[in-house]
Amino acid sequence: MQHMMKSKRINGFIATVTAVLAAFFFSLTASAQLEIDITKGNAEPTLIAIPDFLSAHTETDRIAKDMARVISDDLERSGLFDALNHDLFIEKQTDINYQPRFADWRLIKARALVSGRIVRESANRLKVEFRLWDIYGGTQLDGIRFATTPDNWRRIAHKVSDAIYKRLTGEAGYFDSRIVYVAESGPKTNRRKQLAIMDQDGANSQTLLAGADLVLTPRFAPSAQQITYLSWETGTSQVYLLDIETGRRELLGNFPNMTLAPRFSPDGQSLIFSMIKRGNSDVYVMDLRARSTRRLTTNSAIDVSPSFSPDGKKIVFNSDRGGTPQLYTMNADGSNVKRISFGEGRYTAPNWSPRGDLIAFTNSHHGRFHIGVINAQTGRAERMLTDSYLDEGPTWSPNGRVILFTRGTRGIRGHSEIWSIDLTGKNLRKVATPGDASDPAWSPILP
C-alpha cells in the first residue's frame, strides 16, 4: 500500500520532468541549424585521367604509352574507376613537376589525375615517376619514383596502379600480383590439366610444371614464392610443394593415404589439408618445419576444403556431417565447431577473405551454382554474387575485394574459364587465359 502511494507521487514528479524535458528538446529542435542526413549516393566508378607518361627518349616512348594503358586497365578492371579517354584531355602536360591546370580537368569531370614520366638513365635502367592529383581539392595526393630495368615496366605499372588504388580507396591494391591456375586441354573425357601462372591481368602466362597430366587446386604460400597443389603422380592424389623460383618440388609427407585440399596458414609455417583414411576425409594440419601432423577433425563425415582466417585463429571448412555439405568454422586447434551456413542448397569450397570480414563459398541449388559471401563473424548477411551452370572455387584478391572463380559451361564441348567478380556482386568479368583454365589462386602482393 505504502509502496503504491509512493509510486503515485513519483508518477506525478516524473510527468513534470517529462514535460520539462520535452519542452527543452522541442526548443533545441526548433532552433537547431539545418541538419540533413544524406544516405543516398551512387556506386558509379570514379573518373580518373591517366595521360600517357612523358618520355624524353625515343627508346622509352612505347613504354610510356603502354604504362598508362596498363594502369588504366588495372584500375578499370577493379570497377571502381573509369579512365577518361585521352581525346577528351584539354591540358597536355609537358612537365609533371608543374601543377596541373585543375580547371581543365574539372571540366571533363576527372576527379583524379595521374601524371607520370619515364627517365632513361641508361640502356638498362629506367626511372619512373608519377604524381596523383586530387582535381577538386587541388592537391597532390601521392608521388612515387621507381627505378627498374626496362623489361620490368609492367610490374612498375602495376605498382603505380596499387599506389593509386590505395590512395583513393584507402585499401591496399592488388595489381602487382599473380595468379596460379590449372591450364586445361583435350576433350572432357581425357582432359589434361597442368599448372600455369600468369600476372593478375593475364599477361605473362606460362606453364609452371610440364609432365603431370592431372594437377589440381594450386594455392600460394604467403611468401608468393611457393605453391602447394595436388597431383596424382604416385597413382593417388597427394599434396605437393613447389618453389616457383627454383622449381624445386616436394611430395608432402608421403602419406600412405590420399591427401587433398591443401592451403597454407597465413604465417606460412603450416599447411592445412584433408587426408582420407578408409574413405573418410578429415582435416589435418602440418607444421612445415617440424613436419609434424595433427588431426583436427574426427568426424565420420566428409571434412574437406579447410581455409584459415587471416589471423590464423580460426578455420572454415566444408562438411556433410549434417546430411548435406555445409560450412563450419572451428578454432585452429579443432575445437568449437560451429555451422555457419543455413541457406538453401549445398555449400562447399569456402575461402576466408584476407581482409577477414567475409567468407566466400560455392553454393549449389536447384541445379545452379553460385559464388557467395557470408559475414565471417556472424554467419549472416549472405549474398550470392554469381549464377551459372557451374561456378566454383572462389579465391580472393590479396586485398579481399575481388573474387576469382572457375566457371564451367555445359556439354561435351563445355569450357572451363576463370572469371572475376567484385565482392559487391558487380563487375563480373572473364579473365583472359591462353586456353581453358580452372582453379585460380591469387598470390599475395609481390614483394
Partner 1 sequence: MKFGLPISFALHALVVSGGVFLWSNGIKDIADVKIIPLEIVTVADTTNVMPTRKKRPQDRENSIDVQTPEQQASAEPVPPAPVAKAVKKPEPEKKPEKIEPKQVEPVAVKKSAPKQPAFNLDAFATMINKSRAENPDANVEQILIAEAELAKQNQNGAGAGSELTVSPEEYIKAKMEPCWLIDQGARDYQLLRVEIALSLNERGEISTLNILNGAQIIASPNNAWRAARENVVAALNECAPYDGLRTSDYNIWKTMKLNFQPGDT
Partner 2 sequence: MNEKMKYAFLGAMIFALSACASTPKDMSAANTDQQIIPPVVTRPAPITPVVRAPVRELSAVPLGPLPGTVDDFKYTSGEDRIYFAYNQYDLVPVARDVLRRQAQWLNMYPSAILIVGGNADERGTREYNLALGARRADAVKAFLVSQGVAPGRITTVSYGKERPIDGGSNEAAWALNRNAHSSVLIGGNS
Residues 251-270 that bind partner 2 (CB under 8 A): 258, 260-261
Residue 46's nearest CA partner among 3, 12, 80, 87 is 80
Residue 362 partner contact from partner 1, partner 2, none using kind-dependent CB cut-offs of 5 to 8 Å: partner 2
Query: Contact with partner 2 (CB under 8 A): which of 140, 148, 169, 280?
Result: 280
Instruction: Select the span of 24-32, 87-95, 278-286, 352-360 touching partner 2 (CB under 8 A).
Output: 278-286
DSSP annotation of 214 reads B
d(CA 100, CA 134): 10
Q: Cell numbers for 350, please give them.
A: 569456402
d(CA 311, CA 359): 14
Q: Say if residues 253 and 262 touch (Cβ distance below 8 Å).
A: no
5 binds partner 1 (CB under 8 A): no
Tell me the closest approach of the beta carbon of residue 17 to partner 1, in angstroms. Answer: 6
CA-based R_g, the chain, Å: 27
Residue 339's nearest CA partner among 351, 327, 352, 357 is 327
162 binds partner 2 (CB under 8 A): no
171 binds partner 1 (CB under 8 A): yes
Tell me the closest approach of the beta carbon of residue 360 to partner 1, in angstroms. Answer: 13
* Binding string, residues 344-383; x marks residues near partner 1 by CB under 8 A: -----------x-x--------------------------
Residue 253 partner contact from partner 1, partner 2, none using kind-dependent CB cut-offs of 5 to 8 Å: none
Q: What Cα–Cα distance (Å) separates residue 163 from each residue in 83, 130, 159?
A: 16, 10, 6
DSSP of 402-433: EEEEEEE-SSTT--EEEEEEETTS---EEEP-
Q: Cell numbers for 9, please give them.
A: 507521487
The dihedral through the CA atoms of 45, 46, 47, 50 has a sign that is: negative
Instruction: Select the span of 5-13, 90-98, 121-129, 227-235 touching partner 2 (CB under 8 A).
Output: 227-235
Query: Contact with partner 1 (CB under 8 A): which of 178, 219, 370, 401?
Result: 401
Q: Quickly count: other Cβ atoms within 10 Å of residue 175's Cβ.
A: 29
Query: Contact with partner 2 (CB under 8 A): which of 234, 292, 336, 424?
Result: 234
Q: Say if residues 98 and 113 touch (Cβ distance below 8 Å).
A: no
Q: Say if residues 63 and 150 touch (Cβ distance below 8 Å).
A: yes
Q: Cell numbers for 252, please give them.
A: 608432402
Strands 270-277 and 258-264: antiparallel
Site for partner 1 in 13-72 (CB under 8 A): 14, 17-18, 21-22, 25-26, 29-30, 33-47
Instruction: Select the span of 8-16, 208-216, 297-305, 335-343 touching partner 1 (CB under 8 A).
Output: 8-16
Query: Contact with partner 1 (CB under 8 A): which of 1, 94, 98, 190?
Result: 98
365 binds partner 2 (CB under 8 A): no
d(CA 284, CA 330): 13
41 binds partner 2 (CB under 8 A): no
Site for partner 2 in 373-402 (CB under 8 A): 389-390, 392-393
Query: Contact with partner 2 (CB under 8 A): which of 414, 430, 432, 434?
Result: 414
Nearer to partner 2, 156 or 296 (CB): 296
Instruction: Select the span of 31-39, 123-131, 360-368, 378-386 touching partner 2 (CB under 8 A).
Output: 360-368
233 binds partner 2 (CB under 8 A): yes
